[in-house]
Amino acid sequence: MIKFVSTRGSIQPVNFDEAVLQGFAADGGLFVPDSIPVLTADQLQQFADLSFSELAFELVSLYVDRSIVPAQVLKELLDDSFRSFSHPDVVNLISISNQPDIRILELFHGPTLSFKDMAMGFLMNVVDYFLEQRQQRLNIVLATTGDTGPAAAWAAAGKKQIDCWPLYPRGMISEEQERQMTTLNAVNVHPVGVENCADGGDDLDLVVAELFTDTELKKSLGLSSVNSINWCRVMLQTVHYFYAYYRTVDKVGEPIVFSVPTGAFGNLFGGYLARSMGLPVNRFVCANNVNQALHSVFSTGVFPRKDLVQTPSSAIDIVAPYNFWRFLYFSTNRNSNQIRQWMDDFANKREAQLDAETLHVIQDGFMSASVSDQTTFDTIRNVYESEGHYLLDPHTAVAVAAIESLKADLPENVRVVCLATAHPAKFPDIIKMALGCDDVLPAAARHQSIEDAKRVCQHLRLCGLEYLKPALVKAMQEQWLRRAS
């Protein structure tokens, strides 16, 4: 049975349920499996015609023992996770260009119009299942740059065993994203708009990390997290890579390239995991905006912690991409001591310097680019004008622009899939700027759920960053007392 260990190497291995319920490992590291299952050539072939949910069942089963989640339960939890998606196939794949052969994988047909819905529904379902079995409750706390919060809020709404606390940097996410959380009105969901976050979501990540390393607090409040810190999310994020692969290539075994708009490296880690499990991926393109810590480390080996720059692709305005530690852990052959050292350098010296050998390993099958704001706007407009008014959201535009800047370095005739991580209706102001329209948004930039949320009063709960930890602890304690009475 696969067990889960920490990237910092200082805890005893735990089972899947513990790794999921704890979120963060107690030593401050991230949970990773003690081995990565590799598909046989037969399995790789057999999975080709499965539906999205069936494929998810097969892939998740490789990590989750039947004694932890029985097969029928797993199937029901997965089916339920994708039930609220508006596309019959869960995701949609469309072609936009022949040079190179670019497809767009729309991952935004879930209830909050972002790719985060893909894994969040299952994570909340599985957490609620484990908690109900144990007759326990959890406070789920998470930091969001705009899309994780709504996805978590919607997936947690109404779950009996869970209170969910999405923290967002006020003024640094779109009004539409804020409204997706603050108009939900579920008694167990409590979004908090945090003011004065100079480093955006990264400031909030630090508070969440502080809460989690306080073992007493973690225990007394039953804290867990559903950021892509949580192993369950990155595991589920392998599925769309496999699914897109099967729908793109002519023959299983052909190579493919994925371009991924990247912030905390959770989605891209899902891709890396898929490749490690045997998916024939020729290259991943790590597409950054001008917050380019990852582009820097892939091209030079220097992993810098720079100040945050606000961009049109705000959900990837990240200065500390925490899932990269997982990737480095595997790239160094599970060298926990080295990871601890780099994590400390990154935090204290604001820079980690990789050695030449590790740089060589991480560059294997990875390319990267940093895309300027202007290029993001231009890409949205150019694709809109040349592709029958197809509208990219600003994050997807970063992935498309990155591929365009790197196309000379791609193998000939390889098929490229750009991951479309959000619906453009979540970012109307950016779309207006890109298309140069003042008031009237094109139909492609609207969505009924976004329109509906404008007609509902928001339940706002605000707090300054400097008071967040004590204020949050107090609010959670009060909520538990309310629940208990």
Ligand X SMILES: Cc1ncc(COP(=O)(O)O)c(C=O)c1O
Q: What angle do CA 251, 253, 257 make, to 5 degrees?
A: 95
Is-contact 119 233, C-beta < 8 A?
A: yes
What is the closest distance, in whole angstroms, from the C-beta atom of residue 57 to ligand X in the complex?
23
Give strand pairing partners of 104.
94, 418
Q: Which is nearer to ligand X, 39 or 367 (CB)?
A: 367
Q: Which of 3, 75, 116, 469 is catalytic?
A: 116
Q: Which is nearer to ligand X, 159 or 426 (CB)?
A: 426
Give strand pairing partners of 288.
370
Is-contact 209 229, C-beta < 8 A?
A: no
204: its two tokens: 């909030």
Q: Which is nearer to ligand X, 33 or 146 (CB)?
A: 146
What is the closest distance, in whole angstroms, from the C-beta atom of residue 269 to ligand X in the complex?
7
The DSSP 8-state label assigned to residue 424 in this structure reads G
What is the closest distance, in whole angstroms, from the C-beta atom of residue 377 to ligand X in the complex?
16
Calpha distance 316→229 (Å, rounded): 16
The DSSP 8-state label assigned to residue 384 in this structure reads H
The residues, any chain, with a CB within 8 Å of residue 328's CB and separated by 6 or more, are 338, 339, 342, 354, 358, 362
Q: Which is nearer to ligand X, 284 or 384 (CB)?
A: 284
What is the closest distance, in whole angstroms, from the C-beta atom of residue 254 to ligand X in the complex?
26
Q: Which is nearer to ligand X, 47 or 366 (CB)?
A: 366
Q: Which is nearer to ligand X, 161 or 291 (CB)?
A: 291
Burial class (CB in 10 A: 0-12, 13-18, 19+), 462: exposed
Kindly give the interhelix angle for 201-213 and 468-484, rounded to the nearest 10 degrees.
60
Contact residues: ligand X, CB under 6 A:
114, 145-148, 228, 261-268, 315-316, 395, 421-422
Calpha distance 94→261 (Å, rounded): 17
Is-contact 392 424, C-beta < 8 A?
A: yes
What is the closest distance, in whole angstroms, from the C-beta atom of residue 316 to ligand X in the complex?
5
Where do the H-state alpha helices sit in 416-458? 428-435, 448-454
Is-contact 74 115, C-beta < 8 A?
A: no
What is the closest distance, in whole angstroms, from the C-beta atom of residue 459 to ligand X in the complex?
22
Q: Is 407 a catalytic residue?
A: no
Active site (catalytic) residues = 116
